[in-house]
Amino acid sequence: PTVEPQLVKQIAKSEGTVLGKLQALVLIVTIVVLVLTLICVSTTMMAIVTERRREIGLKKALGADNRHIVAEFFGEGCLLGALGGILGSGFGYLFAQSVSMNVFGRGIEFSPTIVVVALVMSILVTGLASLLPVRIATNVDPAIILRGE
């Protein structure tokens, strides 16, 4: 019988095309999720700054400079980002392990590199999302805030 090697090449090429499209789709979804996360974290930090305006005004009236205000809110945001990155990595690994066991019948390897990348990305995203709220916190006028306006 004659064997047609062209068919195998064609199937491999087709699978490569599908894989490339799936990778592009995953990249697009990842970017969309990062942008939405930026918006959510920024909104949350803005609410925290708004809620603590009197506290910020009091600190500034007592002599705290903008560096201290920035350090407090930026540090708080980055700490929450690190915590989210650690929890997300842990739950993500458990979820991926479960899916892999159910779909493929075998587990996945733990990759410390992925955990480090996820942790760094979560800190960067929360740090970036905290920039605008932190800037607003430094623009608080203590006299107006403490007067109750």
Q: What's the confidence (pLDDT) of residue 98?
A: 95
Cα separation of 17 and 13, whole Å?
6
pLDDT tens-place string over residues 92-125: 999 999 999 998 889 999 999 999 999 999 999 9
Q: What's the confidence (pLDDT) of residue 93?
A: 94
Nearest CA to 93 among 109, 81, 104? 109
Q: What is the DSSP letter of 106?
A: S
The parts of the chain modelled with pLDDT lower than 50 are none
Q: What's the confidence (pLDDT) of residue 83?
A: 95
The residue behind tokens 């095309």 is: 17
**Beta carbons of 77 and 129 less than 8 angstroms apart:** yes
Q: What's the confidence (pLDDT) of residue 129?
A: 93
- Give 54-61 contacts, CB < 8 A, sequence gap 24+: 54/145, 54/146, 56/137, 56/140, 56/145, 57/140, 57/141, 57/142, 57/144, 57/145, 57/146, 58/142, 58/145, 58/146, 60/140, 60/142, 61/142, 61/143, 61/146
Q: What's the confidence (pLDDT) of residue 5?
A: 66
Cα separation of 88 and 68, whole Å?
30
What value does the CA radius of gyration of the chain take, rounded to a whole number of Å? 24
Cα separation of 64 and 72, whole Å?
11
Q: What's the confidence (pLDDT) of residue 11?
A: 79
**Beta carbons of 133 and 46 less than 8 angstroms apart:** yes
Q: What's the confidence (pLDDT) of residue 17?
A: 87
